[in-house]
Amino acid sequence: MEKTQVIVGLGSCGIAAGANKVYNKIKALKKVDNLDFELKQTSCIGMCYREPLVEIIDESGSYLYGEIDEKKVVDLIDQHIVNQNPIKDYVVKTDLFKTKDDVFFEGQVKIALRDCGYINPEIIEEYEERKGYEVIKKIASEKITPESIIKTVYDSGIRGRGGGGFPTGLKWQFARNNPSDEKFIICNADEGDPGAFMDRSLLEGDPHAILEGMIIGAYAIGGTDGVIYCRAEYPLAIKRLNIALGQAREKGYLGENIMGIKGFNFDIFVKEGAGAFVCGEETALIASVEGERGMPRKRPPFPAESGLWNKPTNINNVETFANIPWIIYNGAEAYAKYGTEKSKGTKVFALTGKIKHGGLVEVPMGITIHDVIFKLGGGIQNDKQFKAVQLGGPSGGCIPAYMADTMVDYDSVNATGAIMGSGGMVVMDETICMVDMSRFFLDFTQKESCGKCTFCRIGTKRMLEILTRITEGEGKEGDIEKLELLSYQIKDSSLCGLGQTAPNPVLTTIKYYRNEYEAHIRDKKCPAKSCKKLLTYEVIEENCTGCTVCAKNCPVDAIDGERKELHFIRQDACIKCGVCYDKCKFDAIKLS
C-alpha cells in the first residue's frame, strides 16, 4: 500500500465554501505533528452541496468527507490519520458502507467528468495515468486517418453539448471538406447561463481532456490553430488551462510535428472574453476573437466554410471536446450504448435553485426530469412542493411538475417548449411566481442583447416593461396577448439564437401557468405570494397577543396598538417589507 493520501477539493465551489482554509490547516497540522501522509489537491466532483470535501485514501479504503471546516478537520486528522479511526458521521461516500448521500451518485455515468475529482488538474502525469493523451499516441503509432476519426465521432451519435445539438461528426466533416492552408478549432467556453457551471468545472478539473479533444479535432479536420474562448470571470479555469497548455507543449502534444506526425502542426491559445452572453453564439464569438464587438453575423456562409479570419473554422463547446478522447479510445459503440435513439451518450447538468443536492451530475440521455431532481438531486428544499424546472438557461423554458416524466433528450425537451441548452437546471418550488420568473430571465436576455436586431433590442424591452407592470399590479387586459405577439415577432425576426430563444420563458409560462398571469392582471394577486406590490399583510385578531414586537420592528411605523391589545396594520402606510410577518412569534400576521 502506498502512503496515505489526503485530497482536498479545490474547485471554485470548494474554495468559495472555505476549502483553501481547510487545505492550509491540514498542511499546518502535517508539519507541526510531523505526520506521514501525502497532501494533494483535486477539483470539484459535483457534490457542491457538501463542500468543502476532503478524501482520505488509506490501506482500508477510500473515505470522502463532506462539509469539513477548520474545526472538523482537526478531529479528522486526529481520528482518521493518527488513530486510524474514520469518523463515520462525516463520511458522504465510501465503498465500505452505505451513506445517505449515495443516491447522488446512483444513475450517474461519468464520461465528460471522468477525471474530475480524481486528478490534480495541474499535473499532466496524473491525466496521463488515466489514459490521457493515449489517443494522440495511438493516432501516431497506428497511423489512424482523419476520415476514420470523423467516422467514429459520427457513429457515436454525439451532438453538440453547447445547446444546438448539431451532430458533431457532421460538423467536423463540413470543416474538413473546405480546403485551406489555415483552419481553426475553437472551444466555446463562454458559459453565461445564470446557475450554470458545467464548463467551469470541466476546465478547472480536467483541462487536458479539453486540450486532447481539440487536438484530435484539429487532426481530423486539418486544423492549424486553436482558440479557447473563456470568460474572464473564470480566473481559476484560465490559470489551469495555461498551466496545462505549457505542460502539453513540453510533452510534445502541441507544437510542430505532434507526436512525430509529419506536417501536423497545431497550437492553442486562450482568449479571455468579457462575459457577454451573446458571445455564446458562434459568429459573435468569432467577431470577439477578431477584436471586434461581439455581434452575430448573417449565415451563410457558415463558420465551417468561412469563420475566424475568413478561414474554415470548427466550433464546439467544452463538454463536447471533453467527450472526444473517451469516444475515440473506447469506440463509437461504447458511447452510443448510452442514451436514446436520437440523443446518444451522457449529458452534464448543473442542478441549482430550490433543490437539496445542488451540484453537477452526468447522466445518460433518456433519464427523466423526475429522476434527476428527486433521486440524484434529493428532492425539493424544505420538502416543499415541486412546481417547475427551467431547462436551457435564460433562453430555455419552464417545464411544469406534471411533465416531470419527460425524458431528458433533445427531442423530448424541445417538445415542451424548452431547450436542452448547455445543461442548466433551475428547480422551482411553490413559492416561485412564474410571471416574475419569466420577467427575471427576460431581464437578463434583454440586457445581454447586442442590439443589432431591432426586434431583439426593442421587442424584449417592451416585453420586459409589460411583465414588470404585471408583477407590480398594473397589468391590463390584453397584456398576455401582446406578450405572445411580441414573442413570435422576436423569434421570427432575430438573427441569432439569443433573440430567437429569448421569449421561451415567457411563452412556456403563459402556456403552462396562464392562470397566474390572469390572477396578477384581473385579481391583482400573486398566487405564489411572491410579488411584493401584490401582497397584503393583516393581523389575525384571535392570534394577536399585543406583544408589540411587530410594531417595534416596522421600519415605517405602519402598525398601531397598545401593549397587550389588538394591533392593526395601516395599509396606506405599509411598504410590504414583510418584517412583521418574519418577527411575529404567534402566527398573528397573515399574508394574502
In tens, the pLDDT along 466-486 reads 999 999 999 999 999 999 999
Are the C-beta atoms of residues 396 and 410 closer than 8 Å to each other? no
Query: What whole-number percentage of the chain has pLDDT above 70?
Result: 100
As a whole number of angstroms, the distance between CA 585 and CA 587 comes to 6
Render pLDDT for 535-570 as a digit per residue (tens, 0 to 9).
Answer: 999 999 999 999 999 999 999 999 999 999 999 999
As a whole number of angstroms, the distance between CA 217 and CA 173 comes to 10
For the structural domain made of 346-429, what CATH number should be given? 3.10.20.600
Query: What whole-number percentage of the chain has pLDDT above 90?
Result: 91
Cell numbers for 167, please give them.
451532430
As a whole number of angstroms, the distance between CA 365 and CA 360 comes to 15
As a whole number of angstroms, the distance between CA 55 and CA 94 comes to 10
Q: What is the pLDDT of residue 421?
A: 81
Q: Which residues contact 342 (CB under 8 A, 6 or more apart)?
A: 409, 410, 411
Cell numbers for 69, please give them.
471546516
Split at pLDDT 50, 70, 90, the class of 392 is confident
For the structural domain made of 5-101, what CATH number should be given? 3.40.30.10
For the structural domain made of 536-591, what CATH number should be given? 3.30.70.20
Cell numbers for 168, please give them.
458533431
Q: Which residues contact 390 (CB under 8 A, 6 or more apart)?
A: 353, 396, 397, 398, 399, 418, 424, 425, 426, 428, 437, 441, 505
Q: How big, in percent rounded to 5, are the helix, strand and coil portions of the chain?
A: 45, 15, 40
434-523: what fold? de novo design (two linked rop proteins) (1.20.1440)
Are the C-beta atoms of residues 54 and 7 closer than 8 Å to each other? yes
Cα 81 to Cα 58, 85, 220, 281, 322, distances in angstroms: 9, 8, 49, 50, 35
As a whole number of angstroms, the distance between CA 213 and CA 156 comes to 15
Superfamily of domain 124-336: NADH-ubiquinone oxidoreductase 51kDa subunit (3.40.50.11540)
| Torsion of Cα atoms, 99 then 104 then 106 then 108, to 10° | -150
Q: What is the pLDDT of residue 50?
A: 97
User: For residue 418, how many other CB atoms are within 10 A of its CB?
Assistant: 26
Query: What pTM does this model have?
Result: 0.93
- If residue 41 lies in a helix (H) or strand (E), which one and from where to where? strand 38-42
User: For residue 1, how many other CB atoms are within 10 A of its CB?
Assistant: 7
As a whole number of angstroms, the distance between CA 191 and CA 230 comes to 8
Q: Say how many CA atoms lie within 13 Å of 114 toward its Cβ.
A: 18
Q: What is the pLDDT of residue 204?
A: 97
Sort strands 61-65 and 91-94 into parallel, antiparallel or unpaired.
antiparallel
Domain boundaries, the chain: 5-101, 124-336, 346-429, 434-523, 536-591
As a whole number of angstroms, the distance between CA 150 and CA 222 comes to 12
Q: What is the pLDDT of residue 422?
A: 80
Render pLDDT for 100-131 as a digit per residue (tens, 0 to 9).
Answer: 999 999 999 999 999 999 999 999 999 999 99
Are the C-beta atoms of residues 166 and 208 closer than 8 Å to each other? no
- For residue 335, pLDDT beyond 90: yes
